[in-house]
Structure 1
């Protein structure tokens, strides 16, 4: 979400006052709650008690291509949603943003009439702005990361400088794309995973994940929230921060500081889907509401209710918990009948009877998309909800069953054993009732392209509308006051009179200039700072009518005493690029004098028939008579969260500045509350505050982490070849090599075995991220688990572990 500059034509009265006060207190003020900065700004109340819940949808950028039936943003039932996530945006280890699909994001016309490839109004990012303009109930945002693009979170979050660069880039992105929120989808902190190139050739995995991610995740979120609040103050809009977090207790324990996360974010989307799948040896619900007591894995807590109960027990506020619904299936090819005739196939044994694209044995059923290595190469039984009839045609013996204990449907063929788990309208209504009964914050859905068409063939809305109606009723959703970014533009007006007519020659100048580098920011800056499909509104004291004074003015109409020139009806004036201008003439029936003009406004659209995405005054009204009370808050910079070593010299004001639009440099007026003891390890909070001459105050919090400067005795060399029996020290731990290897991380690779002192029962204490082999015994949370095969997952989180004893 990065966006356009505010109009430089709004003249403000600047009162510059030099302040020399500097106050550095040494004791943290009692009762100070360390939250994100600028908390004084009124935020929308999303608590269920006031009738405002969330219906959150994810939209994948791959949806526009043939594999998803060319499902364009216009097919999303936006009137049924409160939040719409663009998924996904990637980034590198340096914090630079990367498109996962540049053509989808900013290149393709995505079904919009008269939009050309590569135009400033092309791509999903433009189409989402059009959706939001037409549906004031909707907020649009960007989801960063995802299952296959979370590999660099650990590196970025661990380094204060890289983290600051990442946050700055995200702020620019949401500004240029005129978005309303940021969603962080880190899958998953502190849980290392090798990339699965068979299923997705672009999968990064999370090989660098460590236990430190748990703390760094919070620091990243705090930095993002601070930046969102500061930018929101600057642009006079309220931004939100959301996260997508895992549902299982073990994954949450490993990587999420639940109280601090919920203290920081506006809401958290709980990924209560993919809870069971073809990786399990027993069938089950992948998105069940409750845990069926007959589930042999019932103790793993893999249901909506189990996840919500755990979060609430850890202090998560209910109105920030948003539970998940799945618009797709997961399935097994051949499952036994199970032990309960009333629910045949449920919790049945799944046979290994199929193969993935790389010939790996599998239990999975066929997918809707053809099996192809690198592009869905794992048999997982994944079909869109909207393709259930196609699924039943492919597996003609399937019959639908209902598990009333879990409040979840499934499909099963008693002859072949095919089994598929999913959400339908009935289970969706049960989930919505659960949200309301437990005062939760709403529901998320993955994903828009998976829904089914109902009465309107151009919309996929069956489950989306079911959620909306169950949460909000059948009426229209509440509308939000969403900020509309202005563009840096100016106007020159010159009266003219000739034999044919009299009127005004008007020049619209786009004052924006190219500043960004890097593919993502340069492209969204160009799109965001291009004036798109402009219209001019001119209001006069005389109530004059206007008409075209020549080429360039386009179609001119008069509505309620205001002249309207649709410049976009002239091909050359459909866009006004950075640094460019557009000149045209309007003939008037009134006086051709500047005194007659009350105001001139400029609006933009994404498509000609669409709603306006912005409208701003270029001439007259507040541009010439500013409100003296119109005051912007100061901006504090350089106060990002940092990590220092014990014994380091630390000055809390070094590199910190404060600037104010009216007062100028207020750095000397910054006050700091809190202390940092650099002689001992710990996490310390500082509160920075600055007030301008009109008593507008900005306050932010800053986290200073002091860690021990421990010397390393590591002997591992990633550039050296090791053979079986070689012993190395890595991150202070001793490993023995299992076979020939080069450059494989001892903490995560099966080529290395950690040398540990076993417990009396033969087990070893579980080490997050360590690669275990089949037969290894580990102790975790008071229980003993046996690895069933090579695994890096958390004991008890999936079928790779067998519980031996509690």
Structure 2
């Protein structure tokens, strides 16, 4: 009898252990899955796209987490103002409709950009001007239904248009400006019970990293859209890739840089990886060269200009004498034909950049610019790899 009881106790014990394991394991897996933060997919929408019929209602919001509307201007009173008064209000209305279509979608107004960064230095220079600008932001986003603001100052201290106002103090003043905006946003949140997003668009080179306080300002913003494109362009002396993921040892030009170099520079400066949103271009550059050497790479050229992915696919991709090639070191493609070199990103290179984002625990991707890929070829590649 005692032996039978002993066997029965063992059976009951093992049954308990197995049952506990069965119930605990799925719950544990579920809890771990919940802790994985989804990657952000931020799509910049250029207001001017509405002129060519790509209005905001054409945006595929199912594959985006955020839309940044570019751009708002800054008026003579150093306050935010409409950038395109003839189309902005209609576009804003369509953005609000998109938010109803996809609850959880966030929209931000992007302020400044390459053309309208003239007054940022003045705005950031005193506590009074910073507070005035911050107040105007709160009023603007509440009035037009945005969830936050993207500060695209191009650029503090140096760079940008020659007409930009600039000061050596921009470095610390930029941090103070973001702090003032965050303070105003938090104060407003007490009344509205909503979190106001504050982000920046930042340069990809060491020149930018050295001119801002990335190790400090990150505490005031939700994340940063790192502009890891325009690494090379028609302003250079030689043809090169717009946004190489990695450096190429074949590139002996003075400036050899990459997306990977940018992320490492931001990380070294003390900016958290989880707040870095990697910029991906939906456009490229076309260069007219004078030689067929090296299939157009790293050669002098006579002229060059920006070109959207949609135009590249329609007119040049493996047609009209152009052949697609892929650089397995830089992880980007290029086209060459008729002494013309085209640097661009395609679904393959976009997917590799998305994998890089995941493998390096970065915050997500930021697209410049949505209207340049109306058929969503690149967007689908990005989304499928990041989801």
Is TM-score (shorter-chain normalized) higher than 0.5?
A: yes
Please list the CA deviations of residues 592-645 of structure 1 after superposition, one character each: whole Å capped at 9, or x if unmatched: xxxxxxxxxxxxxxxxxxxxxxxxxxxxxxxxxxxxxxxxxxxxxxxxxxxxxx
Please list the CA deviations of residues 470-514 of structure 1 after superposition, one character each: whole Å capped at 9, or x if unmatched: 111xxxxxxxxxxxxxxxxxxxxxxxxxxxxxxxxxxxxxxxxxx
Shift in Å at residue 94 of structure 1? 2.5
Matches for 1:279-678 after TM superposition, within 5 Å? 279-297=235-253, 300=255, 302-334=257-289, 336-338=291-293, 344-347=295-298, 349-352=299-302, 363-364=303-304, 380=305, 382-392=306-316, 396-413=320-337, 416-453=338-375, 461-472=376-387
In structure 2, which of residues 64, 80, 87 is the aligned counterpart of residue 104 of structure 1? 87
C-alpha distance in structure 2 between counterparts of 1:300 and 1:422, whole Å: 19
Q: Over aligned residues, Cα RMSD in angstroms? A: 2.0
Please list the CA deviations of residues 416-443 of structure 1 after superposition, one character each: whole Å capped at 9, or x if unmatched: 3201111110001000100010000000
C-alpha distance in structure 1 between counterparts of 2:94 and 2:160, whole Å: 35
Contact 1:323 1:444 in 2 (8 A): yes
C-alpha distance in structure 2 between counterparts of 1:451 and 1:49, whole Å: 33
Query: SS state of the match for residue 224, structure 2?
Result: strand
Tell me if 1:59 matches 2:45: yes
Contact 1:215 1:257 in 2 (8 A): yes
Q: 1:284 to 1:404 in 2, by over 3 A?
A: same
C-alpha distance in structure 1 between counterparts of 2:186 and 2:255, whole Å: 38
Contact 1:94 1:162 in 2 (8 A): no
More helix by share: 2
Shift in Å at residue 251 of structure 1? 2.5
> Stretches of 4+ moved more than 3 A in 1?
192-195, 335-339
**What is the aligned residue count?**
355
Shift in Å at residue 164 of structure 1? 1.1
More strand by share: 1
Shift in Å at residue 244 of structure 1? 0.2
C-alpha distance in structure 1 between counterparts of 2:290 and 2:224, whole Å: 35
Q: 1:335 to 1:321 in 2, by over 3 A?
A: farther
Query: SS state of the match for residue 202, structure 2?
Result: strand
C-alpha distance in structure 1 between counterparts of 2:104 and 2:285, whole Å: 32
Query: SS state of the match for residue 383, structure 1?
Result: strand
Please list the CA deviations of residues 727-748 of structure 1 after superposition, one character each: whole Å capped at 9, or x if unmatched: xxxxxxxxxxxxxxxxxxxxxx
C-alpha distance in structure 2 between counterparts of 1:60 and 1:394, whole Å: 29
Shift in Å at residue 64 of structure 1? 0.7
Q: 1:105 to 1:350 in 2, by over 3 A?
A: same
- Which structure's CA Rg is the greater one? 1
C-alpha distance in structure 2 between counterparts of 1:164 and 1:99, whole Å: 19
Shift in Å at residue 397 of structure 1? 2.1
Q: What is aligned with 1:233? A: 190
Contact 1:143 1:184 in 2 (8 A): yes
Shift in Å at residue 325 of structure 1? 0.7
| TM-score calculated relative to the size of structure 1 | 0.43
Please list the CA deviations of residues 329-367 of structure 1 after superposition, one character each: whole Å capped at 9, or x if unmatched: 11211153445xxxx2222x2233xxxxxxxxxx32xxx
C-alpha distance in structure 2 between counterparts of 1:225 and 1:425, whole Å: 37
Shift in Å at residue 445 of structure 1? 0.4
Unmatched tracts of structure 2, length 5 or more: 1-33
Shift in Å at residue 62 of structure 1? 0.5
Unmatched tracts of structure 1, length 5 or more: 1-47, 107-122, 196-204, 353-362, 365-379, 454-460, 473-806
Q: 1:193 to 1:444 in 2, by over 3 A?
A: closer
Contact 1:283 1:335 in 2 (8 A): no
In structure 2, which of residues 120, 123, 126 is the aligned counterpart of residue 159 of structure 1? 126
Contact 1:61 1:88 in 2 (8 A): yes
Q: What is aligned with 2:225? A: 269
C-alpha distance in structure 2 between counterparts of 1:261 and 1:296, whole Å: 35
Contact 1:435 1:441 in 2 (8 A): yes
C-alpha distance in structure 1 between counterparts of 2:154 and 2:161, whole Å: 12
Query: SS state of the match for residue 333, structure 1?
Result: strand
C-alpha distance in structure 1 between counterparts of 2:290 and 2:213, whole Å: 38
C-alpha distance in structure 1 between counterparts of 2:269 and 2:275, whole Å: 13
In structure 1, which of residues 92, 95, 119 is the aligned counterpart of residue 75 of structure 2? 92
In structure 1, which of residues 83, 105, 123 is the aligned counterpart of residue 66 of structure 2? 83
Q: 1:179 to 1:432 in 2, by over 3 A?
A: same
